[in-house]
Structures are given as structure tokens and as C-alpha cells.
Chains A and B, each alone.
Chain A
């Protein structure tokens, strides 16, 4: 898989958002890539820049935002051209806000089909039903005539996925699609997404997913690779198993420790809060809250070594050398 060019490649992406109280360095020097048909989970706390990264890729950031990147390609074509990027679709956190409440679900799913792919009314209708059925929505033909408020949260999110799929994307960006849902529904949606990926893989229409969440536990079973973000930087990238079994960065370890398991006696909660991104630290951003901090942590930014299991931590760096 490594020898073919990745679907999405981002190198040294930085985003600066001007606000009333100063410029927020929301994303700082972030590099990652997504292969065809792969699910990459971008994990981090709120405010760590994961959503901003996604918005930068889709071009949804406000005009005042400053996006810089050394090298950014999607399908080997340059990104950040300010034009509509064909092949990327997005689903959002709040399914209720994704849909316009005064139009039927079916009409809204058909919109990209008719606008982008030139379907006529009848074909679009059929395609909508097919998409909804694929999303395991029963009575798809009737449900397509319903309005958003008649759907439950989980169903609405599935319909949102159907709408995203109507764009026939190669990359689906899911921005915390499960946060607003119940635990059981969360897993339903996750299972659906994974199944969808496998289906597409078989159909040779590879679909990659960039899954954004704050819940490591949720993606542990589904994602191929995990990238952990903290304070605007990606601090660890590796295969899911590697991250879960041998977390290299203390922050990842802390995140894992915060998840309750039946055996947990006491959760290890991280104290303190992330640094203010208006004044990003010139050293390791996590040093202040790290339990294994060593002197160099507060002086220099740790380097990232681009290997299978990359981590931005001095301890990790020392282990290697």
C-alpha cells in the first residue's frame, strides 16, 4: 500500500484564526496522509484543532483564516485552491443542523446527485432510496418523503451519511458524527461506516474516511490508523493496535487511562488544561501536564520522526537513539 500515492497528503499544515482577543494558532505544522480505502482517526480534546484541520481540507474555514501548507494534495491534485474540491464529502456533529428543516430528507439527499452528477428526477429518486436502504433505513421510499424532525438522531445521522455518499466521494470526513448520539447508536453508526468501507473496497470504489472524535475507545475497534492531536499538533501517529498497545506519547497514555474499564479502580484524569493557542509554547506543548517531564521538554520542540509509529516526544526520541 505504501508504494502507491496516498489519496490525501498534507504536509506542514498551519492554520491561524484571527479573533477579537488575538490570533489563535489553531493548527500548527500538521502532516499526515490518508491512503485509498483507509480509515484514519483524528483524536483529540475539544479545541485541539482537529475540526479546524478538517475544515481546512474541505475549505469551510472563514475567509479570515490563514491556511499555509508546504505540500497538500488530494488525488495528486493540489489542495487549498479555494475552489470546490470534488471527491471530498463531510458529515457533521449535529445531524439536526445538517438538514434544512423545511425540505424533505429525500430532496436534500438528491440535491448533490442532481447538481453534481446530473441525475434526472426519477433516477435521483431511485438512487436516494438505494442509498437510504444501504444505510439500513427501512421503508426507505416512504422515509425519503419525511422531514428531518420526524427522524431520530441516529437515523438522521445515517441519512446524513447517505447525503455525503450521494456526492460519490473518495474521502469522507466525519467530524464527531457520534458525539451527539447515544452510546448504542454511536456503535451502530460506527459499524455502518466500517461496513460501508469494506463494501466500497470490494466494489473497487475505495472510500477513505477521516474520522474526527475525542473518544479513543470508540475508534479503537474501527480505525486503521490513529493520529492523536494535542494543542494544534499531531503528537502521535500509528496503526490502531500500536497506539492502543504501546502508546508512545504520555498524552496518548493519559487519554487511554481516562477510559473506564471493568477493572479500573480509579481513573487517571489529566489535571490542568491545554495551553492557550494564542501563545503556543515554543517547547513541547504537553510538558506542563506531563508526568514524565524532563528538562529538555520545556526548552525545545520535540522532533517528529516519520516512521511507522511516529510520536512527538523527547522520551520517544531518546528511546530510538
Chain B
């Protein structure tokens, strides 16, 4: 190998920064991380909504920036249209989410089935949700129906199928209805004595969940929990593992054997069982946030991997001549570990950390998802996924947003960690060049 004597100071951290700056995926990961951190730390200043506040006027609302709503007063009388004026399926009053009033003439038959669909029906087999089957006697000339079933502000397609005596469909009539958002006045808690027809509801850029809580505020709040566990747990257990491993590796001999045997024992402990036991030990019932139990379980069980890694490195470093040289100068064990070993082990500790953090975030999310982690009203991205799952089919955004945030965080950490590992590894650095 040719001697490449560099006249400049060879600085490791400068090289690492340089490498990461040239690695587009690592850079992406870094900026993604930065924005996620900013989102969670300063997001609350920009979006001060209370993540626990229930907004009954907006249940499971998809993302919107401000919503015009009709205010429905209890004494509102809907105008009545005379039956003789009804010649086809039609609305008898403006449609809103509190009620859609329909009417249609009876004509020849007395049996009808009413369907509601979110898409234009394509045939008799595709009419959507059956709302009602109606029998009327021959004296009635029009049928009135009020639909109040889980209405949303969107376009619906109502179809009336007329049936003969045998229950066979003989005709179908479809009406497209644009439903406006409406709110009963008693839900608004207005005490100013005014009675506006419409009001502006607060914006929810990420929508609301099934209890009407603002998703953006909950994502910020949940991100704090997720990132707190994601950072705090790995920091503590990687630090502990590193110290434990350094101790074992530096002392060597029987102490090393014993310490590593204990580490192996800890690895063998089942994590889930431990989490459940800890929840019981902490006396966690319904409504208690499970963050502490989760943190303790992660700390107790995750340190041996970093301990093993650091021990192997320290064992190798112990035989380096510069350690002997320092001993000859009368350096104490602590000094050698601190000054000579730690700086050499630090890069791999950092890399371990950059992969332990997404792992911890994911563990938290997983445990919260299966209900063993953070408990409402405290939120985390994992528990939000859990809550969002129940409305997945009707309101997918409630699962989609927290899941995206988890994925982005884990992806960002992995990209950044990959870049960091490549940049810190002297061997691959040379191979790449």
C-alpha cells in the first residue's frame, strides 16, 4: 500500500462529518430526524390544541383546515312538502349530518328497500348499505324516511328499490345527496345568546379520532412519549452495558467469565413476560400510564448486547501497546479505560445506539399496540395505532398517521445509523475509496 502521508491533521470527527455529508441517504436520515425532533419539541408551541380534549362536534373527522357547520336547533321545524308534490325520490329538507330527510312516491307497490352507498351504484347487486325495508298500505301516497345513521359530510347515493309481492325488485331509483356538516346546538355549549345559522369549527389538519381528539396534537404528544422512551432507554442501557462490558473486558479472567455468564442469563429472559410482570409489580391498573414499567423492562433486559460488544473490543484493546505504555506511566485502571479505551470504543457505541433507538421506539409502539405499553389518556404513536385500528375501514387516517410517523422515525434512524457506521469504520472507509 502506498504511503499516503497527510500533512493535515487527521481528525476522525471531521472525516465522519464529511462522509455523512456526502452520503445522501444518511443525510436524508439526519434531516428527517431533525425535523421529527423539532416537530415533537416545538410542535406544541405552534399547535397548542389539547391532545386530550374531546370535540364531540367532530368525531373521526378526516383532515381539514377549518369546517363550516350548520347549527341545528332543537326547535327547528323542517318544512313540509305536500305529498302531491313528490313525484320521485327527493330530499324534503337540506341534507346535513344530523339528518337526511327523504321522501318518495308509492306508485304501484307498497314494499320498498332503501339503500345508502358512498359510491355511485353500478347495479342491483351494488346498492350499498341497506337502511330500511318499508311496508305501507295503499292509502299512503308518499313515504318519508329520516336517515340519521353515522352520517358524514360527503356525497351519498340513496337508492330505493320497489319490490313486488314476492319480494322481487321491480324498479330502482337513485339520488345523489351532498350532506353538509351540522352540529346540534347543545354540543356547542354556546352561552352568548346568539343563534347563528352556521359557525366555523376549529381546523384539524390531521383530522380527529373517534373521540373527537385532535390527531395533530396527539401525534405531537405521542411523539414525545415515543421519542422519550426511544432515547432515554437506549441511552441508559447502552451506557450501562458499555460500562459493564468495559469492566468485564478490562478485568478479564474469572470476573469476566462470571459477568458475561450473568449477561447471557439476562439475554435468556423473555421480554414480554417481564413487561407483564413489571406492570403487575408496579400495580398498574386501568388508566395508569405504563411508561415507567416499559422503561424499566427495556433497561433491565436490553443492556447485555452492548455489554458483549464493548467487552470484545476492550479485550482487543487491552493487548494494545499503548495501554501497556500507559500502565508503565503509572496510570490507574479507570484512567486507562476512560482515556485510552473509551475513545476507541465510542464509535461502535454510537453505532449501537443509533440502531438501539429505533428498536426501542418500535418496541414501545408494539407494546402499546398490544395494550401492554402506554395507556390512555397518555398517548404514544403505538397506542394511537391501536386506537386507529378499530376505525381502519371507515377512517383509515387514524391509523395511517401514527403508523407513518413510526415508520419515518425508524427509517430515519436506520439510514443515519448506516451512514454513521460506514463513516466510522476505517476498514470500509478505505475499501470504498
A interface with B by C-beta (< 8 Å): 17-21, 24, 26, 46-47, 49, 51-52, 62, 64, 232, 273-274, 276-278
Contact = CB atoms under 8 A, between A and B. Distances in A.
Interface string B1-30: 111111100000001000000000000000
Contacts of B15: 20
A24 B2 contact: yes
B21 to A, nearest CB: 13
B2 A17 contact: yes
B154 interface: no
Interface of B: 1-7, 15, 429-431, 433
Contacts of A51: 1
A149 B298 CA distance: 42
Given A18-B433, A20-B15, 7 more contacts: A19-B433, A21-B6, A46-B3, A47-B3, A49-B2, A52-B1, A52-B2
A52 B3 CA distance: 11
A253 to B, nearest CB: 22
The 3 A-B pairs at the shortest CB distance, nearest first, are namely A47-B3, A26-B2, A24-B2
A278 B6 CA distance: 10
A20 B394 CA distance: 55
A20, A51, A64, A276 — which one has the most chain B CB atoms within 10 A of its CB? A20
A26 to B, nearest CB: 4
Judged by DSSP, the binding face of B is loop
A20 B2 contact: no
B1 A47 contact: yes
A116 B15 CA distance: 44
Contacts of A274: 3
A298 B3 CA distance: 22
A270 to B, nearest CB: 15
Contacts of A24: 2, 4
Nearest to B2: A26
20 contacts: A19-B4, A19-B430, A19-B433, A20-B15, A20-B429, A20-B433, A21-B4, A24-B4, A26-B2, A46-B3, A47-B2, A47-B3, A52-B1, A62-B431, A232-B2, A273-B5, A276-B5, A276-B7, A277-B2, A278-B4
A219 to B, nearest CB: 21
B15 to A, nearest CB: 8
A21 B5 CA distance: 10
B2 to A, nearest CB: 4
B18 to A, nearest CB: 9
Nearest to A55: B1
A19 B3 CA distance: 11
Contacts of A52: 1-2
B432 to A, nearest CB: 9
A274 B433 CA distance: 23
A15 to B, nearest CB: 9
Contacts of A273: 5
A276 to B, nearest CB: 6
Contacts of B7: 276
A24 B4 CA distance: 8
A47 B7 CA distance: 16
Contacts of A19: 4, 430, 433
A20 B19 CA distance: 10
Contacts of B6: 21
Contact of A64 (B2, B5, B433): B433
Nearest to B431: A62
Nearest to A22: B4
Contacts of B1: 47, 51-52
B17 to A, nearest CB: 13
A165 to B, nearest CB: 27
A308 B430 CA distance: 40
B306 to A, nearest CB: 27
Contacts of A49: 2
A26 B433 CA distance: 15
A139 to B, nearest CB: 32
A55 to B, nearest CB: 9
A18, A21, A273, A277 — which one has the most chain B CB atoms within 10 A of its CB? A21
Nearest to A27: B2
B23 to A, nearest CB: 13
A46 B3 CA distance: 7
B252 to A, nearest CB: 21
A24 B433 CA distance: 12
Contacts of B4: 19, 21, 24, 276-278
Contacts of A20: 15, 429, 433
Contacts of B429: 20
A21 B431 CA distance: 14
A273 B3 CA distance: 11
B51 to A, nearest CB: 48
A26 B2 CA distance: 6
Contacts of A276: 4-5, 7
Nearest to B19: A20
A232 B2 CA distance: 9
B425 to A, nearest CB: 14
A46 B1 CA distance: 8
A54 to B, nearest CB: 12
Contacts of A232: 2
Contacts of A26: 2
A19 B6 CA distance: 12
B2, B7, B433 — which one has the most chain A CB atoms within 10 A of its CB? B2
A64 B429 CA distance: 14
A64 B433 CA distance: 8
A46 B5 CA distance: 12
Nearest to A64: B433
Contacts of A18: 433
Contacts of A64: 433
A315 B166 CA distance: 121
Nearest to B7: A276
B32 to A, nearest CB: 27
B22 to A, nearest CB: 10
Nearest to A276: B5
Nearest to A62: B431
A278 B2 CA distance: 10
Nearest to A278: B4
A64 to B, nearest CB: 7
B147 to A, nearest CB: 71
B46 to A, nearest CB: 42
Nearest to B8: A21
B3, B5, B429, B433 — which one has the most chain A CB atoms within 10 A of its CB? B3
A279 to B, nearest CB: 11
